[in-house]
């Protein structure tokens, strides 16, 4: 009997890639999204890649408890992966209530509706942002979480706590997995789905590809006086398809009854630190172009260096990041060209 996975926020960047991988691994998927931060591009792309023209889609705002309840009561859902959330760090500083309201309400409604309707497997999309500026790198899952530097980061921490508390209170019936993503980049090799930032991109790779295509004049590299080899910040950039596959492994672990704890936490990263300058150079080299960039002042709130120790995910999930940063940067460029040509 095929298992059904609900992907909340499934029309977005990460959700759409996860949907593809779940379908390709043999799961039935229900996509739900309120489309507040995306259009239908990625959902249509998912249907094309998978050949699933009948892929179920529900226009649902999970802040609406009744709508969440309706979705769970009318469908047999074995596991839910919760992505539906706002994600712009800067915006969250200006509009904290909007972030707390949306990101917390929607997740609590999902947990409540899931539990009420017998769906006992919940996977939450968390972030390495919960580690703040770590004292030691790479970070393991035991590395202490630090105070969040933005309401966005705080919602990730709070949602982690909410799920852990609910799992504890369930007396063993509810299972949770928290995946802490490092920096997801790139696009599906088909170039039919990818990141579609609205307005000026906050994140590095969309800014790079938009500069390369001429949509932005110049990339500002925020800070070249950090205490790193080349003075720019270091991150763990993880290919979006690799990241998506980690969800398939995590869902399988839950549904196959392999979990060793009620709530498990995994770092989803490569374990490979890359500086901003190294990433820019790799992008230029692999795509055979020159990028217009300049050094600019540090961006407030940036951490100097963070990368994952992914060995727990490697061991327990049987998952490993496989794509090179070069291949990923190629896919990001193919996607930018694809959307420019639409």
Supply the residues annotated as catalytic: 152
User: Which run of H or E residues covers position 321?
Assistant: none
Which residues, 79 to 98, sit near ligand WQD by CB under 6 A?
87, 89
Among 75, 190, 220, 314, binds ligand WQD (CB under 6 A): 220
Among 44, 197, 222, 284, binds ligand WQD (CB under 6 A): 222
Segment contacting ligand WQD (CB under 6 A): 16-24, 91-99, 201-209, 320-328?
201-209
Tokens 């919940």, residue located = 122
Kindly state whether residue 203 participates in binding ligand WQD, applying the rule CB under 6 A.
Answer: yes
Kindly state whether residue 276 participates in binding ligand WQD, applying the rule CB under 6 A.
Answer: yes
Kindly state whether residue 155 participates in binding ligand WQD, applying the rule CB under 6 A.
Answer: no
Nearer to ligand WQD, 43 or 86 (CB): 86
Q: Beta partners for 177?
A: 123, 264
Kindly state whether residue 127 participates in binding ligand WQD, applying the rule CB under 6 A.
Answer: yes
Segment contacting ligand WQD (CB under 6 A): 49-57, 60-68, 98-106, 197-205?
197-205
- How many whole angstroms separate alpha carbon 19 and alpha carbon 16? 5
Kindly state whether residue 235 participates in binding ligand WQD, applying the rule CB under 6 A.
Answer: yes
Kindly state whether residue 207 participates in binding ligand WQD, applying the rule CB under 6 A.
Answer: yes
Helix (DSSP H) and strand (DSSP E) numbers for the chain: 11, 13
Kindly state whether residue 278 participates in binding ligand WQD, applying the rule CB under 6 A.
Answer: no
Kindly state whether residue 183 participates in binding ligand WQD, applying the rule CB under 6 A.
Answer: yes
18 CB-contact burial (10 Å; exposed 0-12 / middle 13-18 / buried 19+):
buried
Q: What residues contact 236, with CB distance under 8 A and at least 6 apart?
A: 128, 138, 182, 183, 269, 270, 271, 272, 273, 274, 306, 307, 308
Tokens 């500069």, residue located = 211
* Closest chain position to ligand WQD (CB): 233
Peptide bond into 321 cis (omega under 30): no
149 CB-contact burial (10 Å; exposed 0-12 / middle 13-18 / buried 19+):
middle
Nearer to ligand WQD, 61 or 91 (CB): 91
**Contact footprint for ligand WQD (CB under 6 A):** 87, 89, 127, 129, 183, 202-204, 207, 219-222, 233, 235, 276, 299, 302
């Amino acid at each position: 009997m095929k298992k059904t996975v609900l992907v909340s926020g499934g029309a977005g960047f990460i959700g759409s890639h996860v949907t593809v991988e779940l379908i390709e691994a043999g799961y039935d998927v229900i996509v739900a999204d309120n489309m507040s931060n995306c259009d239908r591009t990625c959902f249509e792309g998912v249907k094309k890649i998978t050949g699933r023209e009948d892929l179920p889609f529900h226009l649902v705002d999970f802040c609406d408890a009744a709508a969440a309840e309706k979705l769970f009561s009318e469908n047999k859902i074995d596991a839910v992966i919760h992505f539906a959330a706002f994600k712009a760090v800067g915006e969250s500083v200006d509009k904290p209530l909007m972030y707390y309201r949306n990101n917390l309400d929607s997740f609590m409604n999902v947990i409540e509706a899931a539990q009420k309707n017998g769906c006992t497997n919940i996977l939450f999309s968390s972030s390495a942002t919960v580690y703040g500026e770590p004292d030691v790198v790479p970070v393991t899952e035991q590395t202490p979480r630090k105070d969040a530097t933005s309401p966005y980061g705080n919602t990730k921490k709070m949602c982690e706590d909410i799920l852990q508390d609910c799992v504890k209170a369930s007396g063993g019936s509810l299972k949770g997995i928290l995946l802490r993503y490092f920096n997801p980049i790139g696009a599906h090799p088909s170039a039919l789905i990818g990141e579609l930032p609205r307005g000026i991109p906050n994140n590095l790779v969309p800014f790079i590809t938009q500069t390369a295509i001429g949509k932005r004049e110049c990339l500002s590299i925020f800070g070249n006086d950090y205490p790193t080899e080349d003075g720019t910040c270091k991150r763990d950039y993880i290919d979006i398809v690799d990241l998506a596959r980690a969800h398939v492994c995590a869902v399988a672990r839950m549904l196959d009854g392999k979990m060793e704890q009620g709530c498990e936490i995994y770092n989803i990263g490569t374990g490979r630190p890359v500086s901003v300058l190294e990433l820019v150079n790799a992008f230029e080299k692999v795509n055979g172009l020159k990028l217009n960039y300049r050094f600019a002042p540090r961006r407030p709130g940036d951490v100097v260096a963070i990368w994952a120790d992914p060995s727990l995910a490697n061991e327990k999930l049987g998952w490993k990041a496989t794509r090179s940063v070069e291949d990923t940067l190629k896919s990001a460029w193919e996607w930018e060209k694809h959307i420019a040509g639409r």
